[in-house]
Structure formats: structure tokens, C-alpha cells
Amino acid sequence: MLREEMEMMMSERNDLLKIVGAAAVLVANTDGRHLPEEAAEAAEMLSALVNALPEETLRDALESVHAEVDANDL
């Protein structure tokens, strides 16, 4: 039973890493000056949350979506 719970948690972590990786790529490639005000506010909040992640977690997230990672960008 514990093994099943651990496998489920690891699967959920992998799914969340993919979501965070995709969000990070979206934020990095979005110019907020061209967004409606509400969308720009949401993008700013998302950017702050992504930037607050530990470097290792962000790196794992970007790798999960096969994004190229430049160490200077982290």
C-alpha cells in the first residue's frame, strides 16, 4: 500500500513538473506589453511564482518539457 502511494505521488510530481515547465517556457516567451491588463497581471503572478522555485526544481521542470536550459537564465 505504501508503495502504491509513493508511485502515485511520484506520478503527480512528474505531472506538476511538466505544468511548471510549460508555464516557465510560456512566461519566458511572452511579452507582457502585448497582453490585456488582466492577462498581464496573471502572467506577472505566474512569473513571480516560477522565479521563487528552487533552482533544482525549476531545472527539473524545464527538463521535463525538454526545454533548453541556460544556467545563466536560472
DSSP codes joined into one string, the chain: -HHHHHHHHHHHHHHHHHHHHHHHHHHHT--GGGS-HHHHHHHHHHHHHHHTS-HHHHHHHHHHTT----GGG-
* One pLDDT digit (tens) per residue for the chain, 74 residues: 999 999 999 999 999 999 999 999 998 898 888 999 999 999 999 999 999 999 999 999 999 999 876 655 55
Which pLDDT score is estimated for 68? 75
pLDDT at residue 71, rounded to an integer: 52
